[in-house]
Amino acid sequence: MPGIVYVVDDDASLRTTIQQLLEAAGYRVITYASAQQLLDQRPDENSPGCILLDVRMPGLSGPEVQGRLTEFGSTLPIVFLTGYMDIIVTVKALKAGADNFFIKPVRSDELLKALEKAIARHETALALKGELEALRTRLSTLTPRQRQVFEIIVRGNTNKHVARELGSTERTIKAHRKEIMEKMKVQSLAQLVVIAERLGVLAQASGPSKDETGAGESGKTPGSR
């Protein structure tokens, strides 16, 4: 199945028409008669999908639901449907992250293309999320000492500098470094640095290392030889 489409519209006839169209295209379709129903029966955030949301409905409007979902941390893309174009509403919704905006009646091919694009984006986001979770799990397997070594070496310091900063021996640091590479499943320091950047480890650094501080005093940039 190419994904799940959550259709939110108070028009029963339109919901049925859209459901038939999307199911014929291979999508799994879940419909809601109101915005509140969507909020009460939250969509599955862990499966590729998107929300097809009417702008104007009794009770909560589409943009209001968009705001609520954002507050909940939802990553599902939203494609809006509206009876007539309201530039102000459209601009606000798009700035808030909406994928697309269509005026009813919308052409089937245009709608299907937009939904396919939105779901593909969500699928990519889920994949990236999964990768980050896997990296965080690997990072959690490091011992406190290995974590210290990890945070220093990814800032461009040599084993000798790490040993001096931690009051250890270069041989011990080499052993820690080997274990870190194995646990993080990387083959090079460059890969380790990329992981540190993705996990925000570099940004979390409290300040320059002793070696970096010394480099700064001598007028050299960090990592310069």
- The 10s digit of each residue's pLDDT in 107-160 is 999 999 999 999 999 999 999 989 999 999 999 999 999 999 999 999 989 999
| pTM recorded for the entire structure | 0.69
Domain check: are 25 and 115 in the same one? Answer: yes
The domain that contains 110 carries what CATH number?
A: 3.40.50.2300
Domain check: are 206 and 183 in the same one? Answer: yes
Which residues are CB-contacts of 157 (< 8 A; sequence separation ≥ 6)?
Answer: 165, 209, 211, 212
Domain check: are 168 and 122 in the same one? Answer: no
Domain check: are 50 and 110 in the same one? Answer: yes
- Local structure of residue 221 (DSSP, 8 states): P
Domain check: are 14 and 72 in the same one? Answer: yes
Average pLDDT of the chain, as a whole number: 86
Domain hosting 147: range is 141-217
Domain check: are 120 and 14 in the same one? Answer: yes
Q: Which has more confidence, 173 or 92? A: 173
Q: What is the 3-state secondary structure (H, E, C) of 14-47?
A: HHHHHHHHHHHCCCEEEEECCHHHHHHCCCCCCC
Domain boundary among 129, 153, 178: 129
Percent of the chain at pLDDT > 90 equals 61
Domain check: are 9 and 111 in the same one? Answer: yes
- Is 81 domain-assigned? yes
Domain check: are 58 and 121 in the same one? Answer: yes
Q: Which amino acid is at 112?
A: L
Domain check: are 35 and 105 in the same one? Answer: yes
Inter-residue contact 79 to 100 (CB < 8 Å): yes
- Is 80 domain-assigned? yes
pLDDT score of 210 more than 70? no
Which residues are CB-contacts of 120 (< 8 A; sequence separation ≥ 6)?
Answer: 48
